[in-house]
Amino acid sequence: MNRVIGTKAGTRNGEGTVTRTASDESKGAGTVTSTAAGATNSAVAGKRTHVGATKSNGTDNNAGNSVSKDDALLQYVLRLGDNALILGQRLAEEMTHGPELEEELANANFALDYIGQARMFYAYAAELEGKGRDEDFYAFRRDGNEFRNLLLVEQPNGHFGDLIARQFLFESFYELQLNALTRCHDERLAAIAARAEKEIRYHLRHIDQWIIRLGDGTEESHQRIQRSLDDLWRFGGEAFDGDDIDDAFADYFNGPDLAALQSRWKERVASVLSEATLTMPEDAWMDGGGRAGRHTEHFGYLLAEMQFLQRAYPDARW
């Protein structure tokens, strides 16, 4: 049997340690382990300081950042690919569970969009890394602690309101991120971002309609979508909690200004929620760690299902 273990240990506000453990049995052979340790305790306000890059003999150096130019680009692209792959997998899980046929078709198309984006990011990452790897390696042959996706995208689908709230919070950020990346100083990544942005812009129009429809619908739909937003809000801050990779990518490639993105994200979210007669949750303790390879207990189960075939039959071909 394929035993899946998920463990999360973290510290909140410096007040002790919170530990959660989940274990289950899943089909197949082998072991998949997902562990999360530590947490981020900030909703991130204000602008991070970027140290300008200088050139010497054709090489970019950054005295304020230990991340090299090449590694900054590779790691940033992998993060984008991981976000797209994991969210695409989550949406694929929702097939046959939608509230109506039209929504089934929409979710299927959105899942395919994300898988297609993941392939573009992973293909570029493989070229940058230069180790002969391909998209399948990044998707199916890495362990949980090697994935760098945001915790928000790995959250379970739950009921329909949970799915809509997750998509709304992430895609409101992702569209802004992609738009900023179309102006970055890497032509290949800018081109991928421009293509992906068009898809996500369409996703958002669809998701906004559902937020408004559920929020301004019946008393039950209003209460359930509000609860979904409240429950998922703590995962929203991680996207704006920049680290050395974000700083280096901004320095070397004119990457997104996360403080500016956060301000625009909050404005957009607040506008849609207001029209939906929903209350914007208050910022408090924010969960984090996904981009450092520390994931929630749900992630191990997702990987066990997604990676089973390649783990059981490595390099299998149809």
Q: What is the per-residue pLDDT across 92-139, written as a single tens digit (0 to 9) for each?
A: 998 888 888 888 888 999 999 999 999 999 999 999 999 999 999 999
Structure tokens at 228: 């979904």
| 19 φ, ψ (degrees, to nearest 5) | -125, 135
Which residues partner with 23 through β-bridges? 5
**Calpha distance 259→13 (Å, rounded):** 22
**Structure confidence at residue 315 (pLDDT):** 81
CATH number for the segment(s) 48-291? 1.20.1260.10
Contact assessment for residue 175 and residue 121, using Cβ atoms and an 8 Å cutoff: no
**Structure confidence at residue 44 (pLDDT):** 37
Residues of the chain with CATH 1.20.1260.10: 48-291
Which residues partner with 25 through β-bridges? 3
Pseudo-torsion of CA 168, 173, 176, 177, nearest 10°? Answer: -140
Structure tokens at 34: 């997902």
**Residue 270 pLDDT > 60, yes or no?**
yes
Give, for 33, the enclosing helix (H) or strand (E): strand 31-37
| 133 φ, ψ (degrees, to nearest 5) | -85, 170
Q: Which range in 102-106, 183-187, 281-285 is most confidently predicted, on average pLDDT?
A: 183-187
**Structure confidence at residue 64 (pLDDT):** 59
Q: Which range in 33-42, 47-56, 212-221 is most confidently predicted, on average pLDDT?
A: 212-221
